Homo-oligomer: A and B are copies of this chain.
């Protein structure tokens, strides 16, 4: 009997180890998405603004990690719903993390209810907040001041994102905190992607379009990206990273049902991306007469965003279709935003915002627990919170630091003025 108890404890520990390891591997894949956004965005801007977009991307990732450790994580996961929201600011988030990790005895005593390291959870969450902020950098590219952007990153990752994250995932009013199903968002079509897009939209509206993007009489000038292999690489990195993003959001893998669920999430994530790419490619061929690579890439990303709200209930064929509709929507949205003179150099608002909303609504198609009402409540409340708060913060930055580089700096490229170097000093010398 004693021996059996000991064996049972060993199994519980082993399952905890597997779930923690799974969580860390999935988190590493999400961290890798930082490289995806970095490559995607640096491929889609002009050469003269490349070093700055690189700096923004690596800078925001680092800031996100630090701010989320300092206060974001404890705002988002205060432990209990009432009170305690800001408690970790005093402990700097850290004593909480390490001294609070689970003792083996407690894990065994929980009988498997405690099934992963708190630190692995922190790691997984911290790379999510970085993802949300990465969405912003592309939309405001080629004309925003570097330090204005990084300052905004401090606020978004340390406060704006965690608050709405708490609403859904930390036990707040959008979660099923009392056992009632409310807003459903499996891995963050809303909490992460639409959140990033809402912050980006607020920034773009205050920032204005790039010089030369829109001409008189509704004219839209294409400003092609300077390095499409990097954009394709970035998309494929994001595709890979998304297996971690969605696959890790199942949170557990250590029994047959959970392992099957993670496998289904992997398959559906992959199929939705494939569907989005193919349909965006076909639509661009029909509409524009050419197989527009950048639309195809955004189509794949749209498929990924679309399936993120619910990758677990669709059959793979349905996942493909949900992604395909995302791919169609993203092409329409990119064209429409340009008509509205909302200048988003990489299409981030369309991919993450418009398609994020589609993904949240599409939950109702396959998940019988979802209600359209709660999905809309979630969309509206998250969008309103993030957009309003971001607008305020951007506006304060605009009034103080200033948001936008000078016209001359924009013409010369922000690399020289902000970073003091060029991304490709030898390739563009002829110009």
Contacts and interface: CB of A to CB of B under 8 A. Distances in A.
A226 interface: yes
Contacts of A297: 58
Interface residues of A, number: 133
Contact of A104 (B256, B264, B423, B430): B256
A367 interface: no
Nearest to A55: B293
Interface string A39-83: 100110011001100110111011101100110000000000000
B21 A262 contact: yes
B120 A55 contact: no
Interface string A416-431: 0011111111111111
A392 interface: no
Interface string A252-281: 011111111011101100110111011001
Contacts of A13: 254-256
A87 to B, nearest CB: 15
A224 interface: yes
Interface stretch (A196-204, A284-292, A336-344): A284-292
Nearest to A254: B17
A92 B317 contact: yes
Contacts of A229: 38-39, 42-43, 50, 54, 227, 230, 423
A89 interface: no
A223 to B, nearest CB: 10
A31 B16 CA distance: 27
A55 to B, nearest CB: 5
A32 interface: yes
Contacts of A39: 229, 233
A255 B35 CA distance: 32
A249 interface: no
B278 A63 contact: yes
Contacts of A103: 256
Nearest to A54: B232
B240 A31 contact: yes
A300 B62 contact: yes
Contact of A15 (B14, B28, B228, B258): B14
B22 A266 contact: no
A29 B14 CA distance: 23
Nearest to A27: B266
A117 B119 CA distance: 27
Pick the most buried of A38, A316, A320: most chain B CB atoms within 10 A of its CB.
Answer: A316
A399 interface: no
Interface stretch (A3-11, A177-185, A380-388): A3-11
B263 A120 contact: yes
A7 to B, nearest CB: 6
A182 to B, nearest CB: 26
A247 interface: yes
B119 A419 contact: no
A288 B421 CA distance: 12
Contacts of A137: none
A231 to B, nearest CB: 8
A146 B66 contact: no
Contacts of A61: 274
Contact of A253 (B21, B232, B233, B267): B21
A426 B107 contact: no
Given A13-B256, A58-B232, A123-B263, 18 more contacts: A16-B255, A35-B236, A38-B236, A55-B291, A58-B293, A58-B296, A66-B320, A104-B257, A117-B264, A122-B316, A123-B267, A226-B425, A226-B426, A293-B421, A426-B431, A427-B427, A429-B431, A430-B430
13 contacts: A3-B8, A18-B21, A21-B262, A28-B266, A35-B237, A51-B293, A59-B291, A95-B315, A103-B256, A126-B267, A224-B425, A228-B423, A294-B421
